[in-house]
Structure 1
Amino acid sequence: MKTHTPPKPRVALLGAPIDLGASLRGACMGPAALRIAGLEEALRERGFDVEDRGDVAPRTPAPQVSGRGERARNLAEIAAWARSLSDAAYETMRDGAMPVFLGGDHSLSMGSVNGVARHAAEAGRELFVLWLDAHADFNTPASTPSGNMHGMSAALLAGEEGLEEVFGDEPRRPIDPANLHLFGIRSIDRDERNLLVARGIDVVDMRLIDEHGASVLMRRVLERVAARNGMLHVSFDLDALDPAIAPGVGTDVPGGLTYREAHLIMEMLHDSGLVTSLDVVELNPYLDERGKSARLAVDLVSSLFGRQVFARGPDNALAPALPTRSAP
């Protein structure tokens, strides 16, 4: 009797070589670095059907937007990227593949998550976002101290005012602020903090992780997503990691996630079966040490896609203890 072999899961890699949202240039080389570090090969080894769809191109010409000066730097250019990335994410999800966006600075998530949210709404499901980052990225043009738009991406996704021109008349699908989970946070601006409190955003900072452990706090997020039959987008900023293990980022903050904490988070995400889309952002090869951060990013993504030291079966249960021999 012939057995039916289910098709391999499909993954689409999409580069987003954007660095105009950051203060330091160089993250535009991130997609190439992740490819050179072997991301596609690592996912194929896990049994995935992987298609590298190349780099997304920004909308040309750039949308016409009103000038905001230093309050939202490079707004027109980032709007052009966001609109193209939103369409790419939406079309990839409709095609039945899991989009993995290779960045690029974190402003790319304005587009990638918006496109995923459009698809989730059509499917009648809630979208949750896990924001692994050292920073909250919840500034608006009214609150930002720098004008850098990679620090406004989470605010746009939660529907904050002042960023309407990023999508203009094109589809914008904000997520419920209650469905945004910031994890690994250790740098928040003053006005940004007030806005996070006012909106009731779930912020898991490094103090909470130190006190309660990454697994307890991650399980709380995953249980909430599962209870609502939600889709989960993971937006992974490499500066969530401690700069001692991931130096190739433009806005490093001491005291980040350790190597094992990061792998545990990725392993738990895989075990949950909830992740439907992914960003890997803020890798800046210009600041890296001989590819150290790029290789670590590939290792962590591999864990998210199922690489384990030893498979223990469902629920990661320990094997039963061996029977003890009675004394003669």
Structure 2
Amino acid sequence: MSQKKVTIIGVPMHLGQNRRGVDMGPSAIRYAKVRQRIEQLGFYVEDLGDIYVPSPERLTIENPKLKWLPQVKEVNEKLADQVSKAIQQGSFPLVLGGDHSIAIGTLTGVTRQYQEVGLIWFDAHGDLNTEESSPSGNIHGMSLAVSLGIGHSDLVNMGNFSPKIKPDRTVIVGARDLDPPEKTRIHELGIRVFTMHEIDRVGMAAVMEEAIQIASQGTKGIHLSFDLDGLDPKDAPGVGTPVLGGTTYRESQLAMEMLAESKQLLSAEFVEVNPILDQANHTAKVAVELIESILGKKIL
């Protein structure tokens, strides 16, 4: 990453899932001094504030299999425009969520500018469901499928192009809770998935070496989509869908440090921080420390 400017974009999205509180994620990360910590690394930081997200109390769910679809679409379109503009201005877009449905907008904005982009998806879940397979109708569980060109046309065709990313340039790291249709889709598409089983067996260093190689081959660089539930709940308790047996704090830091060392990172988002479920804003502080690492902070 050659840029020395970072643009922070907050997206207090909570319509992609069922639990309130994740809409306070951007504020929690800011309260953990994300701007000040990035500035200390020598970056100029522009914080655009938060994109407006309507309250569900004033809305009606039109399709229970695609909850809040019109609103999720509108917010993601605005996000895509802001991400795209930041890149045009020579800045590194750093998106703060909000639930993981915002990846649809982030990837639209990033790929609008860079076209060929690799993706590292750090998550306990696959987020590869569709309207037909989703057990909940929550769009945050469909965002990766949408970005691969699979799903409802209103989301898939955002920005008037699809797919945003290719399966052979997509890597999931930390998976341990996959629905049966997602497993089928992974095998059909040939997506490289590093489950916790594999991380335990070979170690995070080997995993990230292969992940970076896959995501950077034939691309302009890598987008990082980091769901804090990828970490073990002991290290990141403030998430809406925690799953036991995740990566440790140190494993996650190593992964981010290796991404920084690769100099392939184009953009990043950190999502699913829920301060209502947290302990003394601990998860937001972890997010900030991981953000520092992708931007080049070193131990020594």
**Scaled by the length of structure 2, what TM-score is found?**
0.93
Pairing of 1:225-236 with structure 2 (within 5 A): 225-236=215-226
Q: Which amino acid aligns with 2:256?
A: M
**Scaled by the length of structure 1, what TM-score is found?**
0.86
Question: Displacement of 1:172 after TM fit?
Answer: 3.2
Aligned partner of 2:44 in structure 1 is 49
Which of residues 204, 221, 239 is equivalent to 1:249?
A: 239
Runs of 4+ in 1 over 3 A off after TM superposition: 167-170, 224-227
Pairing of 1:211-222 with structure 2 (within 5 A): 211-222=201-212
Aligned partner of 2:281 in structure 1 is 291
Aligned partner of 1:258 in structure 2 is 248
Unpaired runs of at least 5, structure 2: 55-60
Say if 1:224 and 1:191 are closer, same or farther in 2 by CA, change over 3 A: closer
Say if 1:168 and 1:154 are closer, same or farther in 2 by CA, change over 3 A: closer
Pairing of 1:55-204 with structure 2 (within 5 A): 55-57=50-52, 67=62, 69-121=63-115, 126-160=116-150, 162-166=151-155, 170-174=159-163, 175-204=165-194
Question: Displacement of 1:55 after TM fit?
Answer: 1.1
Aligned partner of 1:306 in structure 2 is 296
Structure 2 SS opposite 1:71: coil
Deviation by residue 1:249-294 (Cα, 9 ceiling, x = unmatched)? 0000000000110110011011011111000100001111011111
The answer on whether the counterparts of 1:262 and 1:300 sit within 8 Å (CA) in structure 2 is yes
Question: Displacement of 1:226 after TM fit?
Answer: 4.1
Question: Displacement of 1:8 after TM fit?
Answer: 6.6
Within 2, Cα distance between the matches of 1:157 and 1:88?
18
Pairing of 1:262-281 with structure 2 (within 5 A): 262-281=252-271
The answer on whether the counterparts of 2:169 and 2:217 sit within 8 Å (CA) in structure 1 is no
The answer on whether the counterparts of 1:21 and 1:105 sit within 8 Å (CA) in structure 2 is yes
Within 1, Cα distance between the matches of 2:155 and 2:67?
12
Q: Which amino acid aligns with 1:158?
A: L
Question: Displacement of 1:57 after TM fit?
Answer: 3.0
Structure 1 SS opposite 2:234: coil
The answer on whether the counterparts of 2:121 and 2:226 sit within 8 Å (CA) in structure 1 is yes
Within 2, Cα distance between the matches of 1:168 and 1:220?
30
- 2:7 counterpart of 1:12: yes
The answer on whether the counterparts of 1:27 and 1:105 sit within 8 Å (CA) in structure 2 is yes
The answer on whether the counterparts of 1:8 and 1:47 sit within 8 Å (CA) in structure 2 is no
The answer on whether the counterparts of 1:58 and 1:84 sit within 8 Å (CA) in structure 2 is no
Deviation by residue 1:112-170 (Cα, 9 ceiling, x = unmatched)? 1111011112xxxx20110000000000001101111100000000011x321126674
The answer on whether the counterparts of 1:73 and 1:147 sit within 8 Å (CA) in structure 2 is yes
Within 2, Cα distance between the matches of 1:168 and 1:235?
20
The answer on whether the counterparts of 2:169 and 2:214 sit within 8 Å (CA) in structure 1 is no
The answer on whether the counterparts of 1:83 and 1:167 sit within 8 Å (CA) in structure 2 is no
Question: Displacement of 1:303 after TM fit?
Answer: 1.1
Aligned partner of 1:210 in structure 2 is 200
Q: Which amino acid aligns with 2:74?
A: A
Structure 2 SS opposite 1:70: coil
Q: Which amino acid aligns with 1:120?
A: Y
Q: Which amino acid aligns with 1:73?
A: K
The answer on whether the counterparts of 1:21 and 1:106 sit within 8 Å (CA) in structure 2 is yes
Aligned partner of 1:320 in structure 2 is none
Within 1, Cα distance between the matches of 2:40 and 2:18?
36
Unpaired runs of at least 5, structure 1: 1-6, 60-65, 311-328
Aligned partner of 2:30 in structure 1 is 35
Q: Which amino acid aligns with 1:50?
A: V
* Alpha-carbon RMSD: 1.7
Question: Displacement of 1:23 after TM fit?
Answer: 1.5
